[in-house]
Amino acid sequence: MTDRAGAVAGAGADLRDEPVDPDVVDSDLVYEGRVWDVRSDTIRYGDEEIVRQYVDHPGAAAVVAIDDDERVLLIQQYRHPIRYRDWEVPAGLLDVAGESPRETALRELAEEADLVAETCEPLVSIFTTPGGNDEVVHLFLARGLSAHHTPHPREAEEADIRLEWVPLADAVDGVLAGRLRNGILVAGVLAAAETLRRRASAGE
């Protein structure tokens, strides 16, 4: 059975992103940056060769920290490309050799919010800008929060980080109203809210 768009009814549960391994004819390092690089690849795709430039990114991990009162930790800091102090969840690059995404998430929670967590479980993973970079961000849900024994020093944009504990429902409202637009925050807050809703429905 198909709908008017020709889609197979009930196929949604089986949808998944599909990896592709195209023939890379040429790959050039256009710019070598301090944090990430820019590459230009020539690939054979279909019956033609195409050139695509993209940011070669190390990836990142982020953590949605929710306390016992169902409040989510949000941090605000300056982001120069957008000229905003946007609201975010703690996150950082996968730039420490041998460190897993979960370990990175916990490290960022400690460094940016001076917190530790009893549990830290996978939430979702997202491609942030698949048309322009290869970044994958792994998001985790942290519970059982307590203060880190040693506060972390902060500098540059992190020197004036602002922390706020916001009811999760209010954060969802802020996302849907367009007041909170950071992509990682959007994915993390909505995924956490739905995960907790499903658990409550299941009596967990």
Q: Is 133 helix (H, G, I), strand (E, B) or coil?
A: strand
The percentage of residues in the chain with a pLDDT greater than 70, rounded to a whole number, is: 89
Q: How far apart are CA 157 and CA 184, in angstroms?
A: 18
pLDDT(161) > 90 = no
pLDDT value, residue 1: 44
Please say whether the beta carbons of 142 and 65 come within 8 A: yes
Instruction: Mark residue 96 as left, alpha or beta (left: phi above 0; alpha: psi -120 to 50; beta: remaining).
Output: beta
Please say whether the beta carbons of 67 and 59 come within 8 A: no
Q: How far apart are CA 156 and CA 98, in angstroms?
A: 26
Residue pointed to by tokens 């391994």? 21
Residue 185 tokens, joined: 């925050």
pLDDT value, residue 160: 77
Q: How far apart are CA 6 and CA 77, in angstroms?
A: 45
* DSSP conformational letter for 2: B
Instruction: Mark whether 158 is an active-site residue.
Output: yes
If we measure between CA atoms, which residue out of 121, 120, 125 comes closest to residue 135? 125
Highest mean pLDDT, choosing among 99-103, 109-113, 151-155: 99-103
Please say whether the beta carbons of 171 and 72 come within 8 A: yes
**pTM of the predicted structure, to 2 decimals:** 0.88
pLDDT in tens, 8-28: 556 677 899 999 999 999 999
Catalytic residue among 99, 103, 111, 158: 158
Q: How far apart are CA 63 and CA 50, in angstroms?
A: 37
Residue 195 tokens, joined: 């995960």
pLDDT in tens, 134-155: 999 999 999 999 997 766 655 5
Q: What's the mean pLDDT in 100-111? A: 96
Sheet bearing 48-56, strands edge to edge: 23-31, 37-45, 48-56
Chain CA centroid to CA 46, Å: 31
pLDDT: which is higher, 148 or 119: 119
For 187, other C-beta atoms within 10 Å of its C-beta total 21
If we measure between CA atoms, which residue out of 72, 55, 53 comes closest to residue 63? 72
pLDDT value, residue 14: 86
The pLDDT mean for the chain works out to 91
Query: Residue 38: in which H helix or E strand, if any?
Result: strand 37-45
The domains found in the chain, sorted by start residue, are 11-55 (no CATH), 60-201 (3.90.79.10)
